[in-house]
Structure 1
Amino acid sequence: MIDTDVVIIGAGAAGLMCAATAGYRGKSVTVLDMGKKPGRKILISGGGRCNFTNENATPENYLCQNPHFIKSALSRYSAQDFIDLVERHGVDFHHKTLGQLFCDNSAQDIVDVLMTECDWAGVKIALRNEVLSVQKNDTGFLVTTNEQQYQCQSLVVASGGLTMPKLGATPIGYKIAEQFDINVLPTLAALVPFTLHPHDKERFEGLSGISIPTEVTSEDNTQFKENILFTHRGLSGPAILQISSFWRAGQSISINLLPDTPIEKLIDHWREHHPKKSLKNLLSTVLPKSFIEAMVSQQEITDKVINQLSNAEIAQLSEYLHHWKINPNGTEGYRTAEVTLGGVDTNELSSKTFESKKIAHLYFIGEVIDVTGWLGGYNFQACWSQGVACGQTV
């Protein structure tokens, strides 16, 4: 049996950040992970470049049943604090749209930063250690893995959610919470592509790979202005991934295919300059030609000469292009989702330390808890902030 001050379950973003922070405070820390290498989800994020934070991260960018919960951690360790850390380690990075920051080289750079910090802080990383059981005892917790037993004063559960089971995602964190009578909210796949009903899938066959700048609105009036992408299964792209966190089974979404230009204004211009051209050809100058051809062939869009369009037809076209209704069949699920919505109820945790209000010295951080960020580096920032807040306390 190995004695240590702190055991952290999960060598992901939150767990490693917490480990380094606690280690620098002189705590003996062991991180347990069932994988062959640390930071597996970091490595595949952002297309292998890791969108490691967002300069605009605020509490408004997170979904949580308690919207105030994340405020404390974010205010104490901001995006700029993590950027400073990355710069100290000499990692080259670049800015993309909407405040997103990516590594120039590889996501491995971020894992290297975290592992270097853990090394400097004296943290032990025990890989290929699957947690089999957790017991509370007089001196803290006894954690049994397939390899070893660990006795610790403080236990941090940073085991992640259910997303990407191929990377080893398990419900261990939720099971530990339930074992100690800590409420776990229902979970859903989030930041995930939509699948379509067979009739819609058939309609959009042949459009796979086509991307359109749009504004997508959910039934609760949440809006995201980014691209959608047609796939062979349904719809993806940043706007779809974002809205998926706000969508529930049976609901529809509304897509504005021309978010910056009212179609009426375009038609006025076309009538003046191209009165003899067909609507199909002119629409193909502002939207992908194959999409317009598909909609015309399905008689969703009329194919008349511009100066022959009636006011009723223009109104119908406007409704279609600016409020295109899609009723998804479902999502691709945890297999391709980027995050898990729901999880350990934050009302059960301290927002300052992430300690359980019921069980002393038991902490939950990262994706396992009910804090879900938007797409664009927000979830990593939540992990850095939570890891530091927890690591300063354990």
Structure 2
Amino acid sequence: MTHYDIIVLGAGAAGLMAAIEAGKRGRKVLVLDHARAAGEKIRISGGGRCNFTNINATVKAGRDRFISQNPRFALSALARYTPEHFIALVDSYAIPFHEKTLGQLFCDGSSQQIVNLLLAELRKAGGTLRLETVITGVSHADATFTVTAEDASFTAGALIVATGGKSIPKMGATGLAYQLATQFGLKVTETRPALVPLTFEPRILEWMAQLSGIAVDPTRISVGKRSFEEALLFTHRGLSGPAILQISSYWREGDAIVIDLFPNGDLTEILRDARTSTPKVQLQTVLSQHFAKRLAQILAEDIGITTMMGDISDKSFGKIEDALRRWTIKPTGSEGYRTAEVTLGGIDTAGLDSTTMQARTVPGLYFVGECVDVTGWLGGYNFQWAWASGWAAGQAA
């Protein structure tokens, strides 16, 4: 049985960062993961280019962009390990990147470059990585944690749990962190899929299926007082795209969402101009100047105005405005953890120290990353939380 100063469970973004920082402090660190390769969710993220941070994931700009029962919990770690810190690390490896939109930073090349960076940093810090290791038990006695695997056991004075949430089970998500939190007396808040496409009842779904693959950019999608102005994508399963993924973190069963397909510009003024300048064309033709031809056709058919533009009244313009800018529908659910980018909810932050990520009642036990009740917006915020929370634990364990 080999003894370490720290055992890290999980070789993802948060776990590798925690191990790297602890190793830099001279700690003897072991990272365990059941996967065949480290950083699998990093590798598939951002369409294979890894949206590794967001320049707005800061205490000031990102204060309302992390969802938690205690929204202030994340601020300590985010203030001490900022996007600039991780950008500097990326620069030190000469990895080219670009800002795509809204502060989102992506690799120009493969996301494997970020995985390789982290593994190189782990080696430099003297950490040990053991993959394809299935954890069968964790115990704690006499200030020592014992981690039992199928073929070996390991001990350490500190344990950092970074095994993620329930999202994308095909990548190995297990919910182990929640089991360990419960075992050691920490509370776990309600968890559910987040940053996930929404689904609809069959009648609406059949309508949407006609438009599968068509995007509208931008749209404004709202639920309650929260709204996002980004792209929407019709799919054969329902609605996706950045705006839908964002709003899914705030949507609850039974809520309706309001979709504005024309958030910028004065739609009524455009219609009036068309009535004057092109009175002999139909509504579909006018809409096709702003939407994909197929979408324009179906929208016009649903609105039910078949007269020429020159014959459409101002009252009918109001009907068009309502249909396109206040389209209200009620999702029946989401695609679930299968396609969710993250898990909303998790280990109750009331049981953790926001400075160190250590459990308040179990000295030496730390939880970091997605398993904690901190969920960021789409666009690099969750990676920044992984880097920051892993860094905080690595500085303290």
Q: 1:275 aligns with which of 276, 279, 288?
A: 279
Q: 2:145 aligns with which of 126, 141, 145?
A: 141
1:178-217 C-alpha deviation (Å, 9 max, x unpaired): 0111000011000001112100011122211000024333
Asked if the contact 1:283–1:292 (Cα under 8 Å) also holds between the matched residues in 2, the reply is yes
Structure 1 segment 1-394 matched on structure 2, within 5 A: 1-57=1-57, 58-297=62-301, 299-394=302-397
C-alpha deviation, 1:4, in angstroms: 0.2
Aligned-partner Cα distance in 2 for 1:179–1:219:
36
Aligned-partner Cα distance in 2 for 1:310–1:262:
17
TM-score (norm 2): 0.97
C-alpha deviation, 1:265, in angstroms: 1.1
C-alpha deviation, 1:136, in angstroms: 0.9
- Per the alignment, in what secondary structure is the counterpart of residue 97 of structure 1? coil
**Matching residue's letter, 1:69:** F
**Matching residue's letter, 1:234:** G
Aligned-partner Cα distance in 1 for 2:280–2:312:
11
Asked if the contact 1:161–1:339 (Cα under 8 Å) also holds between the matched residues in 2, the reply is yes
**Matching residue's letter, 2:148:** T
- Per the alignment, in what secondary structure is the counterpart of residue 345 of structure 2? strand
Give every structure 1 segment of 4 or more consecutive aligned residues whose post-TM-superposition deviation is greater than 2 Å.
214-220
Segments of 5+ residues of structure 2 without an aligned counterpart are: none
TM-score (norm 1): 0.98
Q: Which moved more, 1:229-238 or 1:131-140?
A: 131-140
Aligned-partner Cα distance in 2 for 1:365–1:61:
18
1:207-238 C-alpha deviation (Å, 9 max, x unpaired): 11000024333332211111100111111111
Q: Which moved more, 1:251-260 or 1:283-292?
A: 283-292
1:115-158 C-alpha deviation (Å, 9 max, x unpaired): 00000000000101111111111032111111211111000110
C-alpha deviation, 1:311, in angstroms: 2.4
Aligned-partner Cα distance in 1 for 2:28–2:49:
32
Aligned-partner Cα distance in 2 for 1:29–1:220:
46
Aligned-partner Cα distance in 2 for 1:39–1:247:
29
Aligned-partner Cα distance in 1 for 2:289–2:125:
58
C-alpha deviation, 1:29, in angstroms: 0.4
Asked if the contact 2:221–2:244 (Cα under 8 Å) also holds between the matched residues in 1, the reply is no
**Matching residue's letter, 1:307:** G
C-alpha deviation, 1:300, in angstroms: 2.7
Aligned-partner Cα distance in 2 for 1:233–1:216:
20
Aligned-partner Cα distance in 2 for 1:24–1:44:
28
Q: Which moved more, 1:312-321 or 1:371-380?
A: 312-321
Aligned-partner Cα distance in 1 for 2:186–2:144:
17
1:33-75 C-alpha deviation (Å, 9 max, x unpaired): 0000100000000001000000111232111110101111111
1:252-307 C-alpha deviation (Å, 9 max, x unpaired): 1111100102221111211221122211111111122211212333x334222112
- Per the alignment, in what secondary structure is the counterpart of residue 22 of structure 1? helix
Asked if the contact 2:275–2:312 (Cα under 8 Å) also holds between the matched residues in 1, the reply is no
C-alpha deviation, 1:92, in angstroms: 1.2
C-alpha deviation, 1:26, in angstroms: 0.4
Q: Which moved more, 1:263-272 or 1:39-48?
A: 263-272
Aligned-partner Cα distance in 2 for 1:285–1:42:
39
Asked if the contact 2:159–2:366 (Cα under 8 Å) also holds between the matched residues in 1, the reply is yes
Asked if the contact 1:36–1:128 (Cα under 8 Å) also holds between the matched residues in 2, the reply is yes
**Matching residue's letter, 1:13:** A
Aligned-partner Cα distance in 2 for 1:102–1:202:
35
Asked if the contact 2:74–2:354 (Cα under 8 Å) also holds between the matched residues in 1, the reply is yes
**Matching residue's letter, 2:251:** W
Aligned-partner Cα distance in 2 for 1:139–1:311:
76
C-alpha deviation, 1:349, in angstroms: 0.5
Taking structure 1 as reference, are residues 202 and 272 closer, same or farther at Cα in structure 2, changes over 3 Å only? same
- Per the alignment, in what secondary structure is the counterpart of residue 383 of structure 1? helix
**Matching residue's letter, 2:309:** I
Aligned-partner Cα distance in 2 for 1:291–1:141:
59
Asked if the contact 1:204–1:294 (Cα under 8 Å) also holds between the matched residues in 2, the reply is no
Aligned-partner Cα distance in 1 for 2:35–2:319:
55
Task: Give me the identity figure in percent.
Answer: 46
- Per the alignment, in what secondary structure is the counterpart of residue 386 of structure 1? helix
User: Cα RMSD (Å) of the superposition?
Assistant: 1.1
Asked if the contact 1:276–1:307 (Cα under 8 Å) also holds between the matched residues in 2, the reply is yes
C-alpha deviation, 1:105, in angstroms: 1.2
Segments of 5+ residues of structure 1 without an aligned counterpart are: none
**Matching residue's letter, 2:9:** I
**Matching residue's letter, 2:54:** N
